[in-house]
Structure 1
Amino acid sequence: MTPTLRTARLLLEPYTPEDEEDFVALFQDRRVSQWMGDGPATEAEDRALFGRIFTKVYAQDLFDVWAVRRNGAFIGHAEIKPTDMVQGHEIIYALAPEAWGSGLGRELAEAIVAYGFDTLGLLEVHATVAAPNSASLAVLDRLGFEHVRDVTEDDGGITRVLTRRRTVPGTPG
């Protein structure tokens, strides 16, 4: 069961059915969706994706997915899940454009990484980011992620694969 997480300014909690309109609005915003998965999807596809959070992800306890709120308002989406691209766990996060530039992306990514290390016991956490997404790349760089390799997508776009390894007290790195 996906737990509730808190940061200084954010609340990450499992989605409720009432979050559907906010989820769809976030994923339908092209400023956000251009960086998500295969890019913008139809509204019907985003509604189906939201439904699968309940029927598959939560029902089968596959991985953790959160609605991200600030001061009670929905402002984003976050997950940590196993992925074949990196053969480990990947963090995924998206914030509504009105939350950009305020340090919330870093706060959100930091919370997901800490959950991966401290709760899931992972030794490394990965992220995949479209090469032109300089804002997300900068956030992850500040959090200690290192560029591992590039993947050329079917459409010719480049996805950067980044990794952050857990540092163990008393060891180098």
Structure 2
Amino acid sequence: MTTLLVDLKGEAVDEELPYGPLETLWQLDIDLATRSKFPSVTPIHSTSSILEGTHVDQIHFIIQQRAKKLLRRYRELRSVVSIRGINSVPSSEVQMYKRGELLESYLTQPFYVAEELTGKKGVAVSLQDTLNDVQKILDGSMDSKEIDQLSYIGLYFCKIKSTSGF
């Protein structure tokens, strides 16, 4: 896999910063890609100056931090589950694991540029709708849903609620 780091401003790389003055860094995740979870960009390790506290409102920042925390713990638990099974996870952590699965599935998205390759129509939704949906997953409103119900409906989940019973 080749990763390109591009500084769109054309500024010199700052020796003190690990990747220079880049605005956004995406970390591609081979685990997500092998499980056909696209885009296979991990939100845990990817970053953007736009998502820092000064550029987003407080609610967005809190949801973002809670989602990252859930995904981080889910990844830890997933390692255990893949080796020993779900029964090896403490009962207090099973709900967190399942919510992590739901959030990971929700973050899959059919892209317009990939329509020809995937056969799935590309979609987009407002930031507010996405934040509302992630909040529902974090708070447990979607605990009764199956993972497949959130896969590749991702960021247009809120648009189909009324027609699919969400």
Which bracket does the TM-score occupy, shorter chain normalised? under 0.3
TM superposition score normalised by structure 1: 0.27
State the TM-score, normalized to the length of structure 2: 0.27
Max Rg structure: 2
Q: Which has the higher strand share?
A: 1
